[in-house]
Amino acid sequence: MRQFEAPPSAAWVGNPQGGVSAPDPILPPDAATRFKRTAARLADLANDHPMSDWLLFLCNLSQAQHEAAQAIQPPVPDADRIARTAAAGMPPLAADGHRRDASWREALGHLLERFDGAEEALAAVVTDLKSRSEAELEALADAFLGGSLPPEQAGHSLFIAAALQVYFTRLAAGLPADHLRLLPERNLCPCCGSTSVSSLVTASGKTPGVRYLYCSLCSTAWNHVRAVCITCGQSGKLAVRAIEGEEEASIKAETCDDCHTYSKSLYLAKDTELDPYADDLASLGLDLLVSEAGWARHAPNPFLLG
């Protein structure tokens, strides 16, 4: 692995006709396409991939999430409350304080039905989750959102995370973007307060070259200035790195020597089919190399806990 690209010198590209186009600060998710797109991308990425079986399993899970997202009907958030909460600088669907509707458990049920009869180890997890009471499932969800599920419950964490993603994505998709505000802590989702899985750098539209972080929970995207570490906010010791010999790769790691963390950036100019969720999971080789070189990932992917 080597450094080959200096950080960009500006936050975004200006309008060649004069002036600068401001990027949309927040992009709510489209619950009708979010998981379907990730599933399709995972299927493509699984071809000739060394982790093909695992990516195909996640493809199946993402397709199940898509179907669950169309089936559940969480309550419509109150627009006035959303606006007041956002204006106060807080995420309106804060994952650690939101009173979940029972529809998230309905989403979990859809996912478990999809994997009923799976191979032995997975079947044991499915059977156990199906046997849990409502209170036990809520406790598991609280533990996941609080980061306290133990590593030995990685299988449970996978399904709980997937169901919560469906639920929070459906909620976020119903929020009016003009009611939301970027948070003072710009590395956190303005909708639910969660961390991101990766960022996409745009290649077209009114503001090409803009970076958007993608929420690990509710699938909201929000603008974050480039050439600034998303963990500590510093810019003096940033570097953009790729695996040696793959300098033109579409996925790179932005490392920071101030806080010793890294995050992934996906460049749509290199590949217009990139998906912030699927491509993060399929590029674990980059994570391993960067981690071995001494940087810690800024935040985990919920499908990789444990």
pLDDT tens digits for 93-113?
999 888 999 999 999 999 999
Q: Which CATH number fits domain 61-178: 3.40.1160.10, 1.20.1240.10, 3.90.1670.10, 3.40.630.30?
A: 3.90.1670.10
Q: Which residues belong to CATH 3.90.1670.10 in the chain?
A: 2-27+179-304, 61-178
Kindly state the tokens that stand for 118: 């799976």
pLDDT reading at 3 higher than 70: no
Question: What average pLDDT does the segment 204-228 reach?
Answer: 93
Q: Which CATH superfamily is domain 2-27+179-304 in?
A: FdhE-like domain (3.90.1670.10)
Sign of CA dihedral 233, 237, 238, 242: negative
Question: What average pLDDT does the segment 276-297 reach?
Answer: 96
Alpha carbon distance 261, 77 (integer Å) = 35
Alpha carbon distance 98, 285 (integer Å) = 35
Q: 0.75 cut: is pTM over it? A: yes
pLDDT reading at 1 higher than 70: no
Alpha carbon distance 29, 88 (integer Å) = 22
CA angle, 221 then 227 then 232, to 5°: 80
| pLDDT number for residue 9 | 32
Question: What average pLDDT does the segment 145-162 reach?
Answer: 92
- Quick one: pLDDT band at residue 305, thresholds 50, 70, 90? low
CA distances from 301 to 276, 277, 280, 305 (A): 11, 9, 8, 7
pLDDT reading at 151 higher than 90: no
Q: Are 221 and 202 in contact (CB under 8 A)?
A: no
- Quick one: pLDDT band at residue 17, thresholds 50, 70, 90? very low
pLDDT above 90 coverage of the chain, percent: 77
| pLDDT number for residue 164 | 98
pLDDT reading at 47 higher than 80: yes
| DSSP secondary structure string for all residues of the chain | -EEEEPPPSSSSPPPTTSS-PPPPSEE---TTTHHHHHHHHHHHHHTT-TTHHHHHHHHHHHHHHHHHHHH--PPPPPHHHHHHHHHTTS-TT-TTT----THHHHHHHHHHHHTTT--HHHHHHHHHHHH--HHHHHHHHHHHHTT---GGGHHHHHHHHHHHHHHHHHHHHTS-GGG----SSTTS-TTT-PPEEEEEE--SSSSTT-EEEEETTT--EEE--TTS-TTT---TTEEEEE-TT-TT-SEEEEEETTTTEEEEEEETTT-TT--TTHHHHHTHHHHHHHHHTT-EESS--GGG--
